[in-house]
């Protein structure tokens, strides 16, 4: 049985950006555009009416910015996932967006295939953070000494290993293979990490971990950023 297409809402104050995203969505049979908004306030109204599966959300907009709009959408429409899109290399804004509830975050120069993959993963509740965004967040990652001073979340050694893998973008299956543990054990640790970090999803956990310096990502994984 053929799946229903993923319902997508575009939110960006630039007409050309919206036009480009509209054309992008038309290239994929499993993605369907259900509306466009030029600011966060209009986006919230469209979410109430159209019930999109995924919102492609700009950061900086008039009337209401992407951070506030994301927070409102995730609060009132929890089944709607938000994928942040930006052309600004500002770690504070990116972290605020993730903390507001965006499940994924990408730069606007992302390829069509990468964006389509992020949308599909978002509907399934899976986080995608682009390499450029991870590099921006990683640039503010404190040293291992600071990490020890600031780890007030009571993460176990194994949980920190799992968290480092999550930050590196590994799936649960990849983490199981990397750490030589069962998939069910990985799921248990990920759930525990989200609880301890008070994070609603992997993207928010990554944001908190990098901001607080909770882990140091092994060199062998840095190529994944």
Instruction: For residue 21, give the CATH number of its domain.
Output: 3.40.50.2300
Question: How high is the pLDDT of residue 105?
Answer: 85
Domain end point (choices 137, 160, 176): 137
Q: Give counts: helices (H), strands (E), the chain.
A: 11, 5
The answer to whether residues 173 and 126 touch, using CB atoms and an 8 Å cutoff, is: no
In which domain, by residue range, is 26 found? 6-137
Domain CATH for 174 = 1.10.10.10
Contact 175, 165 (CB under 8 A): yes
143 CB contacts (<8 Å, ≥6 apart)?
213, 216
Do 116 and 155 lie in a common domain? no
Supply the pTM of this predicted model: 0.65
Q: How many domains does the chain have?
A: 2
Q: Is residue 96 part of a domain?
A: yes
Q: Say how many Å lie between the first and final Cα of the chain, rounded.
A: 37
User: What is the spatial distance between Cα 54 and Cα 32, in angstroms, rounded to a whole number?
Assistant: 10
pLDDT of residue 96: 80
Whether residue 198 sits in one domain with residue 158: yes
Q: What is the pLDDT of residue 141?
A: 53
- pLDDT, averaged in runs of 10, over the chain (225 residues): 87 92 92 95 96 94 89 92 82 78 86 90 84 65 47 79 86 88 88 89 85 66 41
Is 178 within a domain? yes
């Amino acid at each position: 049985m053929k799946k229903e297409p993923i319902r997508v809402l575009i939110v960006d104050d630039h007409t050309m950006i919206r036009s480009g995203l509209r054309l992008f969505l038309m290239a994929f049979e499993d993605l369907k555009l259900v509306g466009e908004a030029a600011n966060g306030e209009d986006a919230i109204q469209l979410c109430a009416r159209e019930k999109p599966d995924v919102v492609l959300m700009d950061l900086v907009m008039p009337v209401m910015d992407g951070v506030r709009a994301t927070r409102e959408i995730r609060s009132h429409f929890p089944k709607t996932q938000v994928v942040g899109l930006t052309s600004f290399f500002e770690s504070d804004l990116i972290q605020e967006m993730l903390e507001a509830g965006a499940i994924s975050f990408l730069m606007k120069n992302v390829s069509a295939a990468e964006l389509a993959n992020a949308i599909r993963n978002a509907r399934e509740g899976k986080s995608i953070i682009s390499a450029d965004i991870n590099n921006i967040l990683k640039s503010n990652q404190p040293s291992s000494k600071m990490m020890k001073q600031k780890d007030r979340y009571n993460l176990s050694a194994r949980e920190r290993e799992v968290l480092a893998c999550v930050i590196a973008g590994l799936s649960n299956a990849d983490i199981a293979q990397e750490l030589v543990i069962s998939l069910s054990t990985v799921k248990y640790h990920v759930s525990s990490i989200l609880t301890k970090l008070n994070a609603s999803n992997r993207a928010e956990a990554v944001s908190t971990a990098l901001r607080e310096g909770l882990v140091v990502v092994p060199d062998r994984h840095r190529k994944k950023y």
